[in-house]
Chains A and B, each alone.
Chain A
């Protein structure tokens, strides 16, 4: 089954004025109303929030109006309103989630350091995990 889609970014015209989730190459998740697009899939998001997840908690950081350069977009999709309501996640304030993320990152770098030290003592060279750092 192959539906007849219009070519290129024209398919995105269907999504205009809908509430969309956009994932960027740096791993960030943005949610906002899509107001405009062009042939490069540059996007205009209105009433945007950045959603940060740490464990089972999440928090939103307001960003207002964003013009996103198309190159940086990994995926975008419509947000189902009713599903958003009953998620098994706990909403916390923006400040709290930022604190939680900082703590998580500190724990991770701490663990990486100990791992590198332990491996070095055994004559191995530890290569840190770069998977969360996008390489443009």
Chain B
């Protein structure tokens, strides 16, 4: 699990972001991208010396200004569960013969030469 994938998993969780200049931002992660640019909501910004505070409803942080992000412990557990589920579904797929998924599941249609639908089901 790559660091940025973990960050994506941490969406909607509270986190602390420290910038290179020492300022910290506490808030809930709304979204992030491949450049580590992030959107936070309900943010409390703390100055470098920890003596000044600002509250803001939302903020956007450019990825290149970030020093580190501190995320809750349970996010890493979510990752473990996710990888287990994924691995299991992969082995299940193998057992049933891979390529032919969707058999019997969906509807089948019969089309005439013009592509008009003749029968459904």
Complex CA–CA separation, A136 to B67 (angstroms): 11
Instruction: Find out whether the CB atom of A64 lies under 8 angstroms from the CB atom of B73.
Output: yes
Shortest distance in angstroms between A103's beta carbon and chain B's nearest beta carbon?
A: 16
Task: Collect the chain B residues with CB atoms within 8 Å of residue A68's CB.
Answer: 67-68
Instruction: Find out whether the CB atom of A72 lies under 8 angstroms from the CB atom of B2.
Output: no
Instruction: Find out whether the CB atom of B67 lies under 8 angstroms from the CB atom of A24.
Output: yes
Residue B120, interface by CB 8 Å: no
Pick out which of these stretches binds chain B: A36-44, A79-87, A113-121: A36-44
Shortest distance in angstroms between B74's beta carbon and chain A's nearest beta carbon?
A: 9
Smallest Cβ-Cβ distance to B10: which chain A residue: A67
Instruction: Find out whether the CB atom of A44 lies under 8 angstroms from the CB atom of B3.
Output: yes
Count residues of A near B (Cβ-Cβ below 8 Å): 21
A 13-36 binary contact with B (CB < 8 Å = 1; else 0)? 000000000001110000000011
A 60-73 binary contact with B (CB < 8 Å = 1; else 0)? 00011111110110
Instruction: Find out whether the CB atom of B22 lies under 8 angstroms from the CB atom of A65.
Output: no
Number of contact residues on B: which range applies? Answer: 20 to 34
Instruction: Find out whether the CB atom of B72 lies under 8 angstroms from the CB atom of A64.
Output: yes
Residue A53, interface by CB 8 Å: no
Instruction: Find out whether the CB atom of B3 lies under 8 angstroms from the CB atom of A38.
Output: yes
Which secondary structure characterizes the binding site on chain A?
strand
B 1-26 binary contact with A (CB < 8 Å = 1; else 0)? 11110110000000000001110000
Complex CA–CA separation, A126 to B4 (angstroms): 45
Smallest Cβ-Cβ distance to B2: which chain A residue: A38
Residue B30, interface by CB 8 Å: no
Complex CA–CA separation, A38 to B63 (angstroms): 15
Task: Collect the chain A residues with CB atoms within 8 Å of residue B21's CB.
Answer: 136
Instruction: Find out whether the CB atom of B69 lies under 8 angstroms from the CB atom of A67.
Output: yes
Instruction: Find out whether the CB atom of A44 lies under 8 angstroms from the CB atom of B6.
Output: yes
Task: Collect the chain A residues with CB atoms within 8 Å of residue B63's CB.
Answer: 69
B 58-85 binary contact with A (CB < 8 Å = 1; else 0)? 0000011011111111011000000000
Give A residues with C-beta under 8 Å from B.
Answer: 24-26, 35-38, 42-44, 46, 63-69, 71-72, 136
**20 A-B interface contacts by CB (under 8 A):** A25-B20, A26-B22, A35-B1, A35-B76, A37-B3, A42-B4, A43-B3, A44-B1, A44-B76, A46-B76, A65-B75, A67-B6, A67-B68, A68-B68, A69-B36, A69-B66, A69-B67, A71-B64, A72-B67, A72-B68
